Structure 1
Amino acid sequence: MKLHPIAPFEPIRTEIIPTSSDWITQIKWDGVRMLTYFDGHEVRLMNRKQNDRTNQYPELLAIQTYCSATSCIIDGEIIAFDQKKPAFHEVMKRESLRNKKSIDLALSRTPITYMIFDIVMYNDIWLLDRPLLDRQKILEEVIIPNSNVQITQNFADGNKLFEVMKEHGMEGVISKDLRGKYLIGGKDTRWQKKKIFHDLYAVIGGVTLRNGIVNALLLGLFDQGNLHYIGHAGTGKLSNNDWRNLTQLIQSKIISERPFANEPARSNEAIWLKPEHTVKVQFLEWTSNGTMRHPSIQSLVDVQITDCTFQQ
């Protein structure tokens, strides 16, 4: 049976973790959402935006070593570690690779783990109308954990798990209704995420320089076609080499008019850019004037600027 890519089910944000016995809570991994498609012959990996990532993760292509299903669609998150903690900037090292030699080298330099948390189709049978409890039972039967593949663990006490995640500086938790069905392209209260830090994809609309090298990004989000400034960030996970490469990258993107609808705080120092490049940024909270408090750049990313909205 030919398997076509689907849009995965997504959680909504919450500040209150469900405590009913019908709910479980899982760790929210700081990685890349990935669905595995196996039609009985070929394995394909597709990310949240249905972009093919099959070549980037060759260690997941021998599906018979970790899954006994004759066909399936598996849902999970690919993570990579930095100092024993999942780190988005580490897994992005794998996402950005296209050259086979570089990918082969990355197998040992940046090992990944596929944290599986759902199964959407099994042995040519769609499981969309089956409750999460049943889907998890099927996962336990068909998934064979190994060094690159694990099943995400359930926790009954979501609030306790959240406190543990705070202690370890993790991203947050996701609570799921065990009675809930899987809705392709859906996003509702059946899955609820509570984050320790907020994160989003933002557009680079300007930069500032120090000694001729970019040292901070002026970031924005789109709303009704207008780019709104949400703050500047100069700290995070970018290396010195990343900043130098970014300095070269922006040379052809410099424009004379500011791209933001509102006035940024650093307008006098800013070099304006055509809004084409994007980053993932993490921050503590929104301030009263609509900017990010304590933003931290996690990685340069390849996402559509139209996805960089306040509704993401």
Structure 2
Amino acid sequence: MSTTLQTINDYYRERPSAFYPIDTNPIRCGEAHFNINMRKYCSFKIPFNRCDFYKISLIQGTGMFHYGNHAIYIDKPALFIPSPSVPYYWECDSLDQHGFFCLFNVEFLTEYVHFNQLHKTSVFKEWSKPLIFLEPEELSLVRSYFSQMYEMAKSNYPHKYEAIGSFVNLLLHHVLMHRVDDIKPEETKGSTRIYRLFDELLNRQFPLDSPAYPLQLKTPADYAEQLHVHVNHLNASVKAVTNKTTSTLIRSRMLLEAKSLLLYTAWDVSAIGYTLGFDQPSHFHHFFKKLTGLTPLQFRQQPKQDIL
């Protein structure tokens, strides 16, 4: 199984036409995207690499998930909430497969889901359990959420993505209700434990509420000092779990916060840059344009695009 990072556009190109979700137009960088379809074309072995998008599946049908280094047999209805950083594949043992799946990118989460709070939880994390088995009454509720998202996505309702975001929120909170038995830090191997502590510390820095309280932890060394580990040990642990560098994860979270502040506050660009720890506006300008292809002002001024 390749560990190459898979994009949403890659995902659509690699699937047979019968497997396509509702819309398959190419997604532009920085554009929010959501898609949903019925889970009925899955009677074959399907590999999934590390990806840059999120996915939630309602599985009705039996089969085996090979998730990271684990094999998990599915013999009752379940919600599957994989981490984007963990490769997996699904191998069904029955043609009787039903349910739904939806996929979306971080821009959709930022715009339509309460992601700043959810990002601090165990949802979509490498160390959390990816499956929740559903009792009959839960299955009815969860299936109703997917059905309403599916019908809403096909509609012409102008505010459908706000409504869909509400259902995604409900699904994720249903997941969190079951996370009382999540893997505890002391139960995990060393690298996973260090990564989890880093991830929790990183996400506690956000959201940023005021330029009077700028971001304090900005480099791997800052986090290593707080965690009382050597920076090389932190970097190795993060790389082992996510296949990404510590600096990349810090930059990604800073970029997510920058986009949120540009979209949802009236702060001027220089104030946003200062709050994110950039002493000079030009440094924030370079950081943002390098990662998005747009200047902060261009990102703020671009017209909203239809997602589907």
- Shared fold, TM over 0.5: no
The TM-score with structure 2 as length reference comes to 0.27
The TM-score with structure 1 as length reference comes to 0.26
Q: Counting strand residues as a fraction of each chain, which structure ranks higher?
A: 1
Larger RCO: 1 or 2 (CA < 8 Å, sep 6+): 1
Q: Counting helix residues as a fraction of each chain, which structure ranks higher?
A: 2
